[in-house]
Amino acid sequence: MGCRKMSEKAVFVTNDKWMRVPGGQLDKTDRKILRQCGKHVRVITMTEALDIMQKEEPAKFKQFHQDMNLKHGIVLTVPQLYELSERANETMQEYKHIANLITVDGAHLIRKWRVDEHLTWRSIARRFSGNNPNQILGMALCERAAVMCNENYYKEPWN
């Protein structure tokens, strides 16, 4: 999602479990992004980032909340704001069309990569496409594969 300063430390915001916990198999692009963030980067979820912003930068959080209300044409509750901030909707929809093409065997292979080999979403995208290390593509592939396995890609054992 991106690197920024929060609490006087560099943070990288992502909901990808294998970017946040030890044992994840990071893509070379994942490693490059983290190196760019600095030596002591902390990887946190979007919810954690919004909680920190709300606590430490309330005016900025309020403005972000207002901007999201305008963008979506409704007054959002804070939980709704958190949910919307976790989506990159337009890109995800494009990649879902690609993900819908995977076979049952493909779904089981993607599950193996994610659950057994602990690949990040970006690593899965690169393996699948051969040249597109896009985190959102990896998310779309994992989402479709998890559905085909009667699971949820956002919950254990996927994330």
- Confidence band of 158 (pLDDT split at 50, 70, 90): very high
For the chain, percent of residues with pLDDT exceeding 70: 92
Would the pLDDT of 128 be above 80? yes
Say what the pTM is: 0.80
Q: pLDDT digit string (tens) for 27-69?
A: 999 999 999 988 889 999 988 988 999 999 999 889 988 988 8
SS (H, E, C) 88-133: CHHHHHHHHHHHCCCCHHHHHHHHHHHHHCCECHHHHHHHHHCCCC
The domain limits of the chain are 2-85, 89-148
